[in-house]
Amino acid sequence: MTRPKLAYRHTPGTGPTIVFLCGYASDMQGSKALAIEAWAQANGRAFLRFDYAGCGESEGAFEDQTLADWRDDALRMLDEVVAGPVVLVGSSMGGWIMLLVALARPERVQGLVGIAAAPDFTDWGFSDAQKRTLRETGRLEEPSLYSDEPTVTTRGFWEAGEANLVMTSPIPFDGPVRLLQGQRDAEVPWERAAMLAELIRSDAVQTLLVKDGDHRLSRDADIALILRAVEDIACFSPSF
């Protein structure tokens, strides 16, 4: 079956290409994606941001998509739009997709930057009652902290998440990694960043905790930290 057409913005430049991966129900117009794009353009760096199917400017219906579909959308961007090595920057759910892509294309992924990364959140991010609702009705609707519209999760998305858990065993990635995490994040417990750092096989992993940082990490000081992490990884000399 043909997948929906994806909207994207590609800035040519020197490599590796920095690829931004959005969070759940987000799009490529977010402040972090735009800030990294502006930095990349100012420094002649290759950069790509895009919308998953069913999100933003891309085709498709949101509730028809699953985590596996969005992983495949990211892989399609790597295979069809950009060439050579990439640095993946994953925000929230994008941090999960970042890891799945790194496992699927180890020869392409030079480094990772996770921003409040939320791998495996279908496992730890829902209560037993919410999981029961998803199993029994196929759909969960919850108030959103960031929009007037409710956040919808489908059984298909949840089941795809449970089939693609990555924090159940060591993660075989050997490149440099930076994990930025707010300690006042109401959605991702900050301790999960340390757990993820321990599971990634690479020794070149650094975890940056922002004591007063929330889930979005979109204040000017947070953006400055993110840009430093991106530059650090983009300029890293790979040893693999």
Helix axes of 128-137 and 155-162: crossing angle, nearest 10 degrees? 120
Give the residue numbers annotated as catalytic, written as ranges.
Answer: 92, 185, 215
Q: What is the pTM of this model?
A: 0.96
Pick the CATH number of 8-120+168-234 from 3.40.50.1820, 3.40.50.2300, 3.90.600.10, 3.30.450.40: 3.40.50.1820
User: What letter does residue 143 receive in the DSSP assignment?
Assistant: -
Of 16, 225, 195, whose CA–CA distance to 102 is shortest? 16
pLDDT at 240: 36
- Each domain of the chain, given as residue ranges in start order, spans 8-120+168-234
Helix axes of 31-42 and 220-234: crossing angle, nearest 10 degrees? 50
Q: Where does residue 115 fall: left (phi above 0), alpha (psi -120 to 50 degrees), or beta otherwise?
A: beta
pLDDT by residue for the chain (240 residues), tens only, comes to: 788 999 999 999 998 999 999 999 999 999 999 999 999 999 999 999 999 999 999 999 999 999 999 999 999 999 999 999 999 999 999 999 999 999 999 999 999 999 999 999 999 999 999 999 999 999 999 988 777 889 999 999 999 999 999 999 999 999 999 999 999 999 999 999 999 999 999 999 999 999 999 999 999 999 999 999 999 999 885 543
pLDDT at 112: 98
Helix axes of 93-104 and 67-80: crossing angle, nearest 10 degrees? 60
Given a contact cutoff of 8 angstroms between Cβ atoms, the answer to whether 53 and 65 are in contact is yes
d(CA 42, CA 36): 10
d(CA 22, CA 98): 10
Residues in the chain: 240
